Amino acid sequence: MDLDIDLEDWPNGSWEDLAERCSMSAAKQAPELANERLTASLLFTSDAEVHTLNREWRQRDKPTNVLSFPMLEREELIGLDQNGPPVMLGDLAMAYETCAREAAEKGIALENHAAHLIIHGLLHLAGHDHEISPEDADAMEALEIAALASMGIADPYGDRH
C-alpha cells in the first residue's frame, strides 16, 4: 500500500517510517491490505483539526485519537484485482494531543500508542469494526495485537485477552 503522509502538528520524529512499518504489519494480518494498488492518506494533526473533522463527519463534537474515512466497501476491497490503476482505500487523521495524553495515561511510549492507532485505523479502512458485536471487536483486537506483536509492541489491551 502506498501511504500519503502529511505531518502538521506532531513533534519531530520518524512518524513516516512508523506508518510504513504499521502498514506492512497490518497487511500481514489482514491480507486484503496487501494489494499494491491501494493508497491511503494519513494526516498527523492537532486535536483542533480532528475535533472539526469529527464534528463535521461524525456529528461528535469532540476530538478523538484517530478518525478513519473508508472509501471502499469491504466487498470491493476483498474483490480488488492486483492489476490496474491505484485505488484510494481511505483517509486517516490522528490527533496529537489526545494521542500523547492517552500514551502518558497508559505509561507507554507515544510511538507505540501511535502504532496501535495507525493499525486500528487501517483495519477500519479495510472494513473491520469493533462496534458491531463483541465477536467483531474480539476479531479486530486480535488482528491489532498480532500486528503490534510482529513489531515488538506489547498487547495494548493487556489482561483483557
- The string of pLDDT tens digits covering residues 46-57 is 999 999 999 999
Contact yes or no for 47/94 (Cβ under 8 A): no
Nearest to 130 by CA among 121, 140, 122: 140
Across residues 55-71, what is the average pLDDT? 94
Q: What cell numbers appear for 136 in the block?
A: 467483531
Report which of residues 13 and 99 the model is more confident about.
99
Contact yes or no for 66/94 (Cβ under 8 A): yes
pLDDT for residue 9? 86
Residue where the block lists cell 477500519: 124
Phi then psi dihedrals of residue 47, to 5 deg? -60, -40
Q: What cell numbers appear for 55 in the block?
A: 464534528
Contact yes or no for 48/63 (Cβ under 8 A): yes
CA distance 123 to 27: 9
Of 45-49, 105-109, 126-130, which range is least confident? Answer: 126-130
